[in-house]
Structure 1
Amino acid sequence: MPHPRDREILRLAGPAFLALVAEPLFLLADAAIVGRLGTAPLAGLGIAAAVLQTAIGLCVFLAYGTTAQVARRLGAADLRGAMTQGVDGLWLAVAIGTVVTILGVAFTDPLVATFGADARVAEPAATYLRIAFLGTVPLLLMLAATGVLRGLQDTRTPLLVAVGGNALNIVANVVLVYGLGPIPALGIAGSAWGSVLAQVVSAAVLVGVVARAARREGASLLPDLAGVRASGRAAVPLVVRTVTLRAALLVTTYAVAAGAGSPGTEALHLATHQLALTLWTFLAFALDAIAIAAQALTGRTLGAGDASGTRALVRRMLRWGVVSGVVTGLLLAAGSPFLGSLFTPDADVQSLLVPVLVVAALGQPIAGLVFVLDGVLIGAGDGAYLARAGLLTLIVYAPLVLAAAALGAGLVAIWVLFVVIFMGSRLAVLRHRELRDDWLVTGAATYGARPRAAG
């Protein structure tokens, strides 16, 4: 017999998963369209995408933090306060996005130069990146508005906007890259303008939905400086958490290169590692969808003052995390002998990828638990602990994986360390926190936040 919570979890996690999957499809469409222009523009797109994904990825707190704050107010039956905090998040997105846009446009050439690409690749990369930075504000508004809607227990609207935005992006890219009728072919610049157009339209729709909800509850749409500053302060720990996660991935990639030995082996190991990491990231979307449900539901139940209900919810979410991890692990293990051929004709890469994917598959149940616990503590507003836990995990993991690389550890051994030490350490510190009661702070204010009157 289904658990009473299951339907609610699926209602939030299902659309969230589909919206998350839409993002890489967005990037794949851009790559397919630009790829027909030649190898150099495609390589330039790769450089630009790496810079943009890093900049936007560090701002994911706009979605996570806003979800927790709004969900708590919703649980406390303070819809006006929920929308007020949601509007504060939107204005914070505008402020951060404006700064990132100005700095990004000003420093486009130096950013591209750090990749060491030759002029044939650097020129299209700079062209794309300079235009794409103009879409930073709408992109961050999309993150913040998505966080508001998730906090309101609505993951369906962000999904619909993601699908519509991706469709618009594909059409705009094709028309602007290759030209149509009186519209000239703009090449890679057209791809950037097409993406910016899709981002502006998507942001306008999401912000419009949030603004209508705010007006309906009598919340002001004007910026409240104290509220925006409070949202900014609450975001700092989540930024630290995100930086530690990205640093761990960078250290792992460095270790793969350093531990490979000969230059020929280095290319083999890095190519295989990239494919394995891509598949790991894709499977993470399924697990992250459960984490998004955990954020929204944890915030709501704590806001309602229901600590025992929150405990029961967490137990159920952890079961979902384990089951999801086992399912994705079994799928990855079963597909490991065949997945390599979908990405590369290189027999050596295909052969080496199999044991790496088996290791990654064995780590999926751990990842399932980690993602859920991370979502629970984000939903509880326990960002300060997540920041400390992230730093501790990185301090433990980085020296060990670098030492292994120095001793000539191969790719499979490094992935074992990634799963056992990095993911295992994350599970240990998150589970330790969850078993305690420090994070079970009930009421409208998130953990460590100062309550603020709505309006």
Structure 2
Amino acid sequence: MLDVSQEEITDGPIGRVLLLLAAPLVAQNLVYVANALIDTFWLGRVSEDAVAAVGLSLPIQSLLGATVVVAAVGTQILVAQRVGSDDEAGARRVAVNGSLVALAITVAVAVPVVLFAEELVAALGADPTLAATTATYLAIVIAVLPVGAVGDTVENCFTAYGDTRAVLHVSVASVLVNLVAAPVLIFGVGPVPELGVAGAALGTVLAGIVGLTHILAYAGGIYRDSFRLTREAFVLDVSALREVVSVGLPLGGQRGVSELVRVLVVSLVAIAGGAAGVAAYTVGARVATLAIVPALGMQQAAQSMIGQNLGADEPGRARRTTTVGTGIVVTGFLALGAVQFFFAGAITDLLAPDLTATGRELSVLYLQLLAVTYWGLGGTYTLLAGFNGASRTRTSFVADAVKYWGIRFPIAVAAVPTTATFGAFGVAIAPGLGWGVEAVFWAVAVSNVVGFLGLGAYFYYTTRQGMFVNAAERAGGGASDDGAATGDD
């Protein structure tokens, strides 16, 4: 029912095809986020400090996840363009070499992080007890970062090809493992000892290993024969390696600049709000991650669809895919935000019932501020899909640099007490304005809206300058006559 042919991707109704492609990806991402929420759910029944420990590690994990993006998304964009231009052999070679890039980069960053996890976490300014617990969780999860990186890269090849159901199946298998493993390892059942936070990390590790095994089985043609890695594809191709890095590096930089700010912001939260503030920020971050799943699924689907249409010399259709996808997401997120706004208290009680009164109050406030800005956050993902699909990945880097460093971080610094000096990872900043941890929550909300409006204006400008026409020419086709006449229309 959700199968989409390559002909439909380049010639079918845009809205319908986007939704069909995105549906399994949305479900897959929901499963992925549910996998992350499992830790918060069970640890929320251990203690506030346990929730805060995982929350403190999240921005560091996401920062390191920038290395995964380089290969995973760079490979997806290039595979989609080659599939659109009927270069199946080239698509497979890119997939193999993209996986090699993923493995090399993530091994290089995972080893030192595992070895110096405690020092890394302590640099955030957390108290020694919280830092030690967080370091344990972080070291275990990052030890298998290369496994997840290779798995994500291969999964993205299926997405680029249009087989999004395979990705969903893999994610379901992974979350089922964690669903069982997490409570058993956290609380201890039978001969399994009670491991607490370390048990939550081990459950996540087991889920990642199962996911990689499953997607490699798909790539070997065991379950179905859509995108398949044949023996001929396993060739070291230096030009493909360079191309993956060239396209993916700005996207890794984009993730890096945004996640570095998140790391610093968590440090601000720890200073201004203590354990209660970090726990509230963690609840909000987890829920927001769940809320943006539809936008992320639409972005992934749109990038593949845009890439294939550019490879097939359809620049106008690539542009319309971006605008239609953005319209769908913004409309849906207005409704989603309204639901979260009115049920913020119930959401907090469900995820972390053992929060203190202060922690609960802060969590409700943050959830409500996020809710009224979801439309801007979600719309940004689909606008960036347009630039990424056209290989204009540097735009994503610049957009996030402005959003996070130019807007979010300067506002968030106001949270620091006037009597304290903020410092993390060797960064020292003068005392803040003493506005409290609430200033951090407002910083996130304001940057979501301003970032979307600015990016939307730039998208309009670049499309009128022929961005998609030029991208189609680079992808292997000549610009169509109607596209050349009116920019991308």
| Short-chain TM bin | 0.7 to 0.9
- Per the TM alignment, residue 98 of structure 1 is displaced from its structure 2 partner at its CA by 2.0
Q: For the structure 1 residues 318 and 121, does the alpha-carbon distance in structure 2 shift closer, same or farther, using more than 3 Å as the test? A: closer
CA distance in 2 between partners of 1:333 and 1:209 (Å) = 41
2:397 counterpart of 1:372: no
2:119 counterpart of 1:106: no
| 1:257 and 1:270 in contact (8 A); partners too | yes
Q: Which moved more, 1:27-36 or 1:191-200?
A: 27-36
Q: For the structure 1 residues 210 and 297, does the alpha-carbon distance in structure 2 shift closer, same or farther, using more than 3 Å as the test? A: same
CA distance in 2 between partners of 1:305 and 1:178 (Å) = 56
Matched residue type, 1:56: G
Matched residue type, 1:170: L
| 2:380 and 2:451 in contact (8 A); partners too | no
Q: Which moved more, 1:47-56 or 1:342-351?
A: 342-351
- 1:8 equivalent in structure 2: 17
Q: For the structure 1 residues 176 and 360, does the alpha-carbon distance in structure 2 shift closer, same or farther, using more than 3 Å as the test? A: closer
CA distance in 2 between partners of 1:337 and 1:129 (Å) = 29
- 1:451 equivalent in structure 2: none
| 2:62 and 2:259 in contact (8 A); partners too | no
- Count of equivalent residues: 439
- Per the TM alignment, residue 149 of structure 1 is displaced from its structure 2 partner at its CA by 1.0
Q: TM-score, normalised by structure 2?
A: 0.76
CA distance in 2 between partners of 1:176 and 1:389 (Å) = 41
CA distance in 2 between partners of 1:383 and 1:333 (Å) = 33
2:256 counterpart of 1:243: yes
| 2:77 and 2:304 in contact (8 A); partners too | yes
CA distance in 1 between partners of 2:301 and 2:132 (Å) = 42
Describe the superposition over 1:260-306 as per-residue Cα deviations: whole angstroms up to 9, x where unpaired: xxx6x787766655544443332211222211111111111011111
- 1:88 equivalent in structure 2: 97
Equivalent positions of 1:137-152 (< 5 A) are 137-152=146-161
2:331 counterpart of 1:323: yes
CA distance in 2 between partners of 1:338 and 1:175 (Å) = 26
- 1:397 equivalent in structure 2: 407
Q: 1:287 aligns with which of 258, 282, 295?
A: 295
Equivalent positions of 1:57-72 (< 5 A) are 57-72=66-81
Describe the superposition over 1:152-192 as per-residue Cα deviations: whole angstroms up to 9, x where unpaired: 112211111111111122334455556666x5537255554
Matched residue type, 1:369: G
**Alignment identity in percent?**
23
Describe the superposition over 1:11-32 as per-residue Cα deviations: whole angstroms up to 9, x where unpaired: 2211111211222322232345
2:476 counterpart of 1:442: no
SS at match of 1:243: helix
Q: Which moved more, 1:316-325 or 1:51-60?
A: 51-60
Matched residue type, 1:20: N
Equivalent positions of 1:32-431 (< 5 A) are 32=41, 44-116=53-125, 120-174=129-183, 184-185=192-193, 187-188=195-196, 189-212=198-221, 219-249=232-262, 274-336=282-344, 338-342=346-350, 343=352, 357=367, 359-394=369-404, 396-397=406-407, 401=411, 406=432, 411=439, 414=443, 417-431=446-460
Q: Which moved more, 1:28-37 or 1:17-26?
A: 28-37
Q: For the structure 1 residues 361 and 200, does the alpha-carbon distance in structure 2 shift closer, same or farther, using more than 3 Å as the test? A: closer
Describe the superposition over 1:201-260 as per-residue Cα deviations: whole angstroms up to 9, x where unpaired: 2112212322446766664224334422332232221112112322454566677788xx
Q: Which moved more, 1:283-292 or 1:100-109?
A: 100-109
CA distance in 1 between partners of 2:43 and 2:358 (Å) = 29
| 2:182 and 2:199 in contact (8 A); partners too | yes
Q: Which moved more, 1:389-398 or 1:306-315?
A: 389-398
SS at match of 2:317: helix
- Per the TM alignment, residue 54 of structure 1 is displaced from its structure 2 partner at its CA by 2.9
Matched residue type, 1:332: Q
| 2:18 and 2:301 in contact (8 A); partners too | yes
| 1:252 and 1:401 in contact (8 A); partners too | no
Q: Which moved more, 1:26-35 or 1:326-335?
A: 26-35
Q: TM-score, normalised by structure 1?
A: 0.81
CA distance in 2 between partners of 1:229 and 1:13 (Å) = 29
Superposition CA RMSD, Å: 3.7
Q: 1:26 aligns with which of 10, 18, 35?
A: 35
Q: For the structure 1 residues 398 and 76, does the alpha-carbon distance in structure 2 shift closer, same or farther, using more than 3 Å as the test? A: same
- Per the TM alignment, residue 115 of structure 1 is displaced from its structure 2 partner at its CA by 4.2
| 1:76 and 1:304 in contact (8 A); partners too | yes
Matched residue type, 1:223: L
Specify every segment of 5 or more residues in structure 1 that has no aligned partner in the other structure, as ranges. 448-455
SS at match of 2:169: helix
Matched residue type, 1:97: T
